[in-house]
Amino acid sequence: MTSFVHVQTPATHPGVVRAETVIERVRTARRSEGGARGLAALLLAAIVSSLLVAADRLMSTTEEGGLLVVWAVLWAVAFVAIALFAGTARKLADRLLVAARNSARRRAAARADAEFLAYAKFDPRILRDLQAIATRHEAALATAQR
């Protein structure tokens, strides 16, 4: 006697689906932010920590009786610094990221041009095309100056 068992097994695992969803959300969040938020937070933390160190150095000369007042002033300095420098740190982070991206694009373009010219030295067809382009460009400049 032969009997067949048909088991309905899912094609995907629920845990894998959840992990893929989380990974995709993280990727879209990273693409939308561009890294400026993290850099701004890092810059803000550096500014606030330097202010806190300076405030701590100034207040370390007080006696033990005023320790609670010193801590209150230290936290007040921290919160005021965060409030004052948050926008500045964000703008600075945006400008730094734009400058870094532009620099990377310029380096990539220069590298691609160098590779193309190195390849053109060995391929006479490309070299002739480059010479024709240069001749046309010089002729266009000569007619524009007249």
pLDDT, one tens digit per residue, over 87-130 is 887 888 888 889 999 999 999 999 998 998 888 888 888 888 88
d(CA 122, CA 108): 22
Is position 36 within any domain?
Answer: yes
The number of folded domains in the chain is 1
Is position 140 within any domain?
Answer: no
Is position 95 within any domain?
Answer: yes
Is position 61 within any domain?
Answer: yes
pLDDT of residue 68: 64
Question: Is residue 76 a contact partner of residue 52, using CB atoms and an 8 Å limit?
Answer: no
Is position 130 within any domain?
Answer: no
Parent domain of 49? 14-106
Q: For residue range 31-44, list pLDDT tens digits in order.
A: 665 566 777 777 77
- For residue 94, the surrounding DSSP H or E stretch is helix 67-120
Is position 6 within any domain?
Answer: no
Is position 119 within any domain?
Answer: no
Is position 7 within any domain?
Answer: no
| Whole-prediction pTM | 0.45
